[in-house]
Structure formats: C-alpha cells, structure tokens
Amino acid sequence: MSRHVLLIEDEPNIIEAIRFLLSRDGWRVDTHADGTDAVEVIRRVAPDLVILDMMLPGKSGMDILGDLRAQPDYSELPVLMLTARGQSRDRDMAERAGVSRFMTKPFSNAEVLSAVRDLVAEAPDP
C-alpha cells in the first residue's frame, strides 16, 4: 500500500513539522503552498490523503474542498482540514462541505499522526 500525503499549507514551520512527523512514520509527503491550483496538484500527485489548511493564498481551503467533493473521483478522498480559527461555524461549514476531519491549530504531533492513520485506514479502496 502506498502511504502518500499531500500537505497543502503555507506556513513553513507547520510544513516542516508535519513533513518531519509523517516522514518519520513512513509516509511520503508532498507539499504545496498555494490554493489557486491545489485541485490540479491533487489530481497530479494522487495522494492517499490531503491535509488542507483553511486559509491559503489564492483560494481558501473551503473552496478547494468544495471543488474536490464536486468531482466523483474525489468524493471519498480523505481530507484533514487544519485551521487557526476553531469556531464551530467554521467546523460546521467544513463538515457540510465534506471534510473527513477538522483540526484546530495548534495541534499535537500525536493528534496529527492519529488522524492521518485513522483516515487512511477508514478510506474505501480506490
């Protein structure tokens, strides 16, 4: 089984922390920092899971999630959304848009690792 994560995040310290954490656990991690072409990048790299920041330059994580879920090939792709704004309104919007899991920054390494492992284990086979 390939274990491949695409991290779409624009904060360098978070990118490095998550990349280090997941790489150490055996994941291949690709990163992308711009919302504008995020859906094309997801299509191109075909990850097992997407970690998506809510606030990105170019296009919001919420819009990217909506675009993904509108495509049949990506309706089941696990998406873990990260946000610095943990208001319940944001969580509700993300859940309505089809997010798999929602995590508020700051988060612990254990939380991220557990969420990634769970989401990929629960995902239907492609």
For residue 1, pLDDT beyond 60: no
Q: Which H/E stretch holds residue 49?
A: strand 49-53
Alpha-helical regions (H) of 1-126: 12-24, 38-45, 61-69, 88-97, 109-122
The tens digit of pLDDT for each residue in 33-61 reads 999 999 999 999 999 999 999 999 999 99
Q: Is the CB of residue 7 less than 8 Å from the CB of residue 15?
A: yes
pLDDT at 109: 94
Q: Quote the tokens at residue 81.
A: 């959304």
Going from the N-terminus, what domains does the chain have, and what CATH number goes with each? 4-121 (3.40.50.2300)
pLDDT tens digits, one per residue of 53-86: 999 999 999 999 999 999 999 999 999 999 987 7
Distance CA 121, CA 66 (A): 23
Percent of the chain with pLDDT over 70: 98
Q: Is the pLDDT of residue 126 over 80?
A: no
